[in-house]
């Protein structure tokens, strides 16, 4: 996968793309990142990328030209010749979910557009953007942090990025449920004990306990996730315990 990021603050990405799993993923060739300051594409002498809003009002608006030209160049440089997903990070976008991460992970090329303080000229939305994504109902100073959240959650899903041990198949949300509780040694930490079943060595019991705890945790913390989930008798009983 190729990931292009358009931002006026490329330095915000240094570190994030060069650390841990995101770095390993690019070293393994699963992904390549390019962060571009779209000011480079401004066709005016002063390299301005924003302007006053028509109709007046506070704040500046990102001009269409630098973003249109940057996206056109990135699309033409894409060797796979598949159409990129052009993602605009903004609070007005669709709320981001694991399902969307799984969908984006099947693409060859993602382009993230990150504004900072400003609004976007509507023609950017209408003519080049394929997806508008919000990472939650709050307002950040810009789309950079939000795009890092999205790309992190996508890259970890790419084939061979996570080792078997860290496999994403059991993730919260991938299974439709939140994860079950985890414990490690010691079995008794200052009087706080690990549930006996986990020390039993009986894998069938352990699996059942994990399923039950995942379901109970989801029911207590995020009952909305269980809407449309059909519970069998055994599961109903677990929830009423």
Q: Which residues are catalytic?
A: 91, 118, 156, 171
Neighbours of 201 (CB within 10 A): 8
Q: Name 215's Cβ contacts closer than 8 Å, sequence gap at least 6.
A: 177, 235, 238, 239
135 binds ligand ADE (CB under 6 A): yes
Query: Shortest distance, CB of residue 9 to ligand ADE, whole angstroms?
Result: 13
110 binds ligand ADE (CB under 6 A): no
The CA distance from 160 to 29, in Å, is: 10
Which CB atom, from 88 or from 155, has the smaller least distance to ligand ADE?
A: 88
129 binds ligand ADE (CB under 6 A): no
H-assigned helices in 105-232: 122-127, 144-155, 196-199, 203-221
| Binding to ligand ADE, residues 68-97 (CB under 6 A) | 89-91
Which CB atom, from 94 or from 196, has the smaller least distance to ligand ADE?
A: 94
The CA distance from 70 to 38, in Å, is: 7
What 3-state DSSP class applies to 238? helix
Among 10, 66, 84, 143, contact with ligand ADE (rule: CB under 6 A): 143
Among 7, 134, 153, 218, contact with ligand ADE (rule: CB under 6 A): 134
Specify binding-site residues for S-adenosyl-L-methionine.
115, 135-140
């Amino acid at each position: 996968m190729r990931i292009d990021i358009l931002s006026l603050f490329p330095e915000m990405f240094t570190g994030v793309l060069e650390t841990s799993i995101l770095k390993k993923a690019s070293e393994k060739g699963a992904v390549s990142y390019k962060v571009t300051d779209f000011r480079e594409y401004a066709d005016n002498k002063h390299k301005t990328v924003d302007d006053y809003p028509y109709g007046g009002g506070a704040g500046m608006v990102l001009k269409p030209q630098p973003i249109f030209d940057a996206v056109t160049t990135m699309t033409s440089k894409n060797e796979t010749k598949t159409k990129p997903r052009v993602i605009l990070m903004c609070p007005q976008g669709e709320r981001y979910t694991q399902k969307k991460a799984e969908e984006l992970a099947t693409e060859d090329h993602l382009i993230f557009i990150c504004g900072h303080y400003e609004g976007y000229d509507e023609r950017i939305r209408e003519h080049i953007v394929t997806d508008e994504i919000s990472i939650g109902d709050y307002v950040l100073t810009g789309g950079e942090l939000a795009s890092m959240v999205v790309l992190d959650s996508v890259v970890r899903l790419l084939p061979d990025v996570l080792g078997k041990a860290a496999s994403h198949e059991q993730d919260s949300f991938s299974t439709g449920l939140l994860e079950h509780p985890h414990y490690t040694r010691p079995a008794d930490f200052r009087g706080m004990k690990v549930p006996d079943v986990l020390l039993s060595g009986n894998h069938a019991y352990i699996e059942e306990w994990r399923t039950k705890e995942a379901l109970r945790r989801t029911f207590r913390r995020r009952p909305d996730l269980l809407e449309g989930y059909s519970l069998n008798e055994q599961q109903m009983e677990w929830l009423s315990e």
